[in-house]
Every structure is written in C-alpha cells, then in structure tokens.
Amino acid sequence: MIPGLGADAGAEREARLLSRVVDTISAGLDLDRILQGVATLVTETTDTDVCFVHLLDDRARTLQLRGATPPFDTMVGSIELAVGEGVAGWVADHGEPAVIVDNKTADPRYRYIPALRGEDFTSMVSVPVVTPLGHLVGVLNVHTRERREFSASDVELLRSVAGLVAGAIENARLHRRLADREEALERFAERMVEWQEQERRRLAGDIHDGISQRIVSLFFHLSAAADAIPADPAVAAEQVARAQELAAAALDEARSAIAGLRPPVLDDLGLAASLDSLAHSFPMLDVRVEVAELRMAEHAETAVYRTAQEALQNVAKHADAQSVRLRLSRHRDRVVLEVADDGAGFDTAAPSVGWPGGPGPTGFGLAGMRERAELLGGQLDLAATPGRGTTVRLTIPFLPAAQSGG
Ligand SMILES: Nc1ncnc2c1ncn2[C@@H]1O[C@H](COP(=O)(O)OP(=O)(O)O)[C@@H](O)[C@H]1O
Ligand SMILES: [Mg+2]
C-alpha cells in the first residue's frame, strides 16, 4: 500500500498506475522509450525518488541498465552488472524481491556503483521482471532518499508493474526478432539471385570443362582407331574401347552436371587418385603426377579437379608439349595446384586471353578457372612465355572436408 492513503484510495491509485503503465507500454514498440516512461511513472506513483530498469542478457548472464529516471537516464546503456552481482544481480539470480530499509552498505548483496550515487538514497526495493510464463527478463529497482518501510503490498504493486513491463519487453523482443528475420530473408533472396547466376556460370563451365572435353578426347581416340583399322585392328579395337570408356565418362559427367553434382570420380576415388586418373586420360600427353593425399570440402575439390582438367585440356589442345607436370600440395592453410608444360606458351598479356569472349570456341576455360579461384577466396596465376611453355597455378585456402556423421 502507498503510505498516507486509506485502503480504498490506495487501491484506486494502484489501479491508475497499472493502467498508465499499460498506456505507456501500448504507445509503441521502442523498448528503450517504454522503459524510460515506465521508470518515470513508477517513481511518480509509488512515491519513490528513482527507478532503475535492468534488462537481462540471457546468454551473457548480465544485467544492463536500460531505463532510469533523471538524472540517471544518462547512464542508460553504460551500466552492466553480472547476474549475482549487487542487489539487482542477487534478485535476478534468486528470482525473488529484495527490500533494504536502511544501512544497505552492511547488506552483503549490496555493491556500490559510484555513477548511481547510492549514498544519496536510503531505502530500496528490487523486484524481478518476470513474464507470465515465468521467464526472467530483468530487474526493476526503486530507491528513496528518506528512510521508508516498504509494505508487502508496495512490493506486490511493483511486482505487478514489473509483470506488465515483462510483457512489453517480450513483445518488443519478438518484434525485433521478426524484423531481423525479415531482413535476413531479404538478404537471402538477394544472395539466391546471385547464387543462381553463379550456378549457371558454373554449369556452363562444367559442360565446357567436363563433357565437351571428354568428347574432344573421344574424337582423338576415334581418329586413332580409324587410322589403325586397315593396318592394325588390335590397336583400333583398343582405341575404340578407350573411346567407349570416354563416352561413358562423358555421360556420367553430363548426369553429374545436370544434377549440379561434382565429378562422380571424386566421390569414388578421392582427390589425389582422381587427379592421377585424370592425368592418364590424356593419351597424347606425358604427364608426371605429384599429388599429395588430401581431402577437402567438396566444392574445393571440385574446383581443383576442374582446374586441372581445363589446364591439361589446354595443354593437349594448344601447347604441343613434350612433357607436363601436375602437382598438388598443401602449404599450411593453402592448397596449390600447378600444371606446367614445356610447350608453345602464349602471350598472357593479350587483352582477350582468359576472359569471356576471349580466344577459343567459348573463351570460357581460363576465365572459368579464374572465377572458380576467386569464388573460393583464392587466385589463379598464369605464367607463359611464347616458345617456353605455360604454368597455371591455382592457390586456394585449405577448406577441410565436413565431418560426416558418426
Ligand atoms: N598450355 C597452353 N599452351 C599454349 N597456349 C595456351 C595454353 N593454355 C591456354 N592457352 C592459350 O590461351 C587461350 C585461352 O585458353 P582458354 O581460355 O582455355 O580457351 P580455349 O581453350 O577454349 O581456347 C587458348 O586459346 C590458347 O591460345
Ligand atoms: Mg581451354
């Protein structure tokens, strides 16, 4: 009960306070304004001198001052207590009110915070701010300059106010969360569009690097077979058999590209063995293979494999090389793939080289490699001198494979 009033007048005043709290709370969803308004209302109507509203940060287990009556309103946002620290921390920890009538420095729960000028105030009540579902969201404190005995009904009234405030805090948080989610969804939609574009480019790259190039090899084997038929049917048969294998592989690649999957051989053999098998799928090239056994995230392995595939294909198509070296190694957090040939080389400074619309049937190859590298946060370096060979080096961050369950 509020002092100096009869029971009826007190009850009426309490009802008025609660209804004004409801008004303040319904006025909007800006939590800080609500808490400020509530703090002022509480001091006015409970005949106290200052009111503090601390909000609980559940994860950090701290209380933050978010509402206060002047002159302490300037402290809002800058005072933080650990749960268990000070009277408010004790209330948060125990979930029950604390009343200190005088001599609070003697109370073991009390902690002096210079900015809040505890020496100017004598008596205090601190109540937990609890939602209807029993979830603690903060602590509300009132202080008086003069010594005051707070009655049980005073404490009860403050608890009712705290209950209303808890509802408002929960609403504001729900609203905030909804707004955040809406924003995230918008960002996600944007990313989706970007990702779709990338995926289209990737698919175009897969068709160019995988299927088209298998068909190029297929063509080589078929010509070799055709040449060998009259003179050496055994060689012709062997070339046809290789051609059949390549046709099957091209079909697999096509299925994989359609399903947006990575080269099936990677799943079956792993990266090192896949690169080894890839190197030997170019019968016209003498490839020395030095690949480290390492496993990475699927998309990183795919990028390495595709880059090696396109680089070797370029050697086969353009270099007229005596020998080729394919190397894969890891240096701390980076993985390096290198394809070096001793062939014709070319002028890398030519403006159109390696960019869409550049030389070649699609101009996709080098540009695609570069794009893949950049998508992975890496880079593609080209070193070529006309007449002295070409080295393609892909450097990407080492991305460990996701742990499969179990
Ligand atoms: N290893 C290489 N040796 C010689 N020239 C190369 C090599 N790699 C690429 N090139 C040159 O760079 C050009 C661009 O290659 P790329 O982007 O893969 O397109 P494409 O292979 O479809 O022509 C090739 O047309 C070729 O002139
Ligand atoms: Mg190419």
Kindly report, residue by residue over 177-212, the tens digit of the pLDDT: 888 778 877 776 776 677 677 777 877 887 887 888
Integer CA distances (angstroms), 82 to 79, 95, 143, 214, in order: 10, 15, 20, 65
pLDDT at position 363: 36
67 exposure class (CB count in 10 Å sphere: 0-12, 13-18, 19+): buried
pTM given for the model: 0.47
1-29 pLDDT, tens per residue? 455 445 566 677 778 888 888 887 777 66
99-133 pLDDT, tens per residue? 999 999 999 999 999 988 889 999 999 999 998 88
- 259 pLDDT exceeds 60? no
pLDDT at position 132: 84
pLDDT at position 406: 39
Query: Tokens for 225?
Result: 């077979």
Integer CA distances (angstroms), 140 to 160, 297, 369, in order: 11, 51, 61
Q: Is 371 in the pocket of ligand 1 (CB under 6 A)?
A: no
Say which residue, 268 or 120, is predicted with more confidence: 120
In sequence order, the β-bridge partners of residue 389 are 385
- Percentage of the chain beyond pLDDT 90 is 47
| Residue 318 CA, ligand 1 centroid: distance in Å | 6
Sign, CA torsion 303/305/307/310:
negative
Q: Is 366 in the pocket of ligand 1 (CB under 6 A)?
A: yes
Query: Tokens for 266?
Result: 């990677």
- 149 pLDDT exceeds 90? yes
303, 396 Cβ separation under 8 angstroms: yes
Q: Among 213, 282, 314, say which to mutate for ligand 1: greatest number of ligand atoms within 8 Å of CB.
A: 314
- 140 pLDDT exceeds 60? yes
Q: Is 388 in the pocket of ligand 1 (CB under 6 A)?
A: no
Strand, helix or coil for residue 139? strand
Amino acid at 286: D
The H or E element that residue 52 is part of is strand 50-57
User: How many Cα neighbours within 13 Å face the side chain of 277?
Assistant: 15
Sign, CA torsion 170/150/76/21:
positive
What are φ and ψ of residue 88, in 5° steps? -60, -40
Strand, helix or coil for residue 133? coil
Q: Is 391 in the pocket of ligand 1 (CB under 6 A)?
A: no
What are φ and ψ of residue 380, in 5° steps? -120, 125
Sign, CA torsion 115/74/135/18:
positive
36, 57 Cβ separation under 8 angstroms: no
Residue 134's contacts (CB-CB under 8 Å, 6 or more residues apart) are none
Return the closest-CA partner of residue 166 out of 17, 14, 1, 38.
38
